[in-house]
Amino acid sequence: MIKKVIFENLGRIRYKEAWDYQEKLFESVVREKSEKKEEKEQYLLFCEHEHVYTLGKHGDKQNLLIANHVCKSKNIDLHTIDRGGDITYHGPGQLVVYPIIDLESFGMGIKSYISTLEDAVIDTLESYGIKGEKDDKAMGVWIDVADPPKARKICAIGVRASRFVTMHGLALNANADLSYFNYINPCGFRDRGVTSIQKELGHEVDFEEVSDRMKEAFVNRFGMELSYRLKHF
């Protein structure tokens, strides 16, 4: 069954502002679910962030390789948040996607949801001739996962779910400045690299085009019917 979902492009936004907005929408979906509304509003948010490191609730602070005051001097925000996973980086040139949906209405559990997120990213990469892959031992989308010295992550995934309503999501490196990953052990890994669509292709890609292809992948993989709304906060 096709599910109606409200799409909002938040544009370039600081992490905390987007996180607060997610919380507001998340609470509204949970409330409508508890009221057993047949047509509850669900959301798909796209954005870019200013430079920020986020540490998951079970993450190891030792995976941040620079002191907090160095982050401040480099204008990098730092937040400990309520998603799964370890530390990751968000910044300009990276497409961040936050689905705030009721998994039960989509007939999904947490594992199938994460797998479908990965599928949507893999579809997006395939449209650029890049072979994205899953790793049974680590969430996200990788390249050359079977060859450890070459394995590199192109998309991080970290989610939170309560009453099967989701928050947080994925971050696909399109044209991101990968040097910011040098200051962390991305997702806790010390022996794997990171990459981007730009790095794999050898040239910058059109960010709006990446967004459109990702949106199409979500529609196809999740069976969403999107309605568009301007951000209103």
Catalytic residues: 187
Residues constituting the chain = 233
Nearest alpha carbon to residue 78 among 70, 18, 171: 70
Question: How does 158-186 read in b/e, with b if 16+ C-beta sit within 10 Å?
Answer: bbbbeebbbbbbbbbbbbbebebbebbbb
At residue 115, what is the residue type?
A: S
* Residue for token pair 């292809």: 213
CA 67 to chain CA mean position, Å: 25
3-state secondary structure labels for all residues of 69-91: HHHHHCCCEEEECCCCCCEEEEC
Give the alpha-carbon dihedral of 47, 52, 57, 58, to 10 degrees. Answer: 120
d(CA 111, CA 115): 6
Contact 92, 176 (CB under 8 A): yes
3-state secondary structure of 40: coil
Nearest alpha carbon to residue 12 among 42, 43, 52, 44: 52
The pair of three-digit structure tokens given for residue 208, joined into one six-digit string: 């709006």
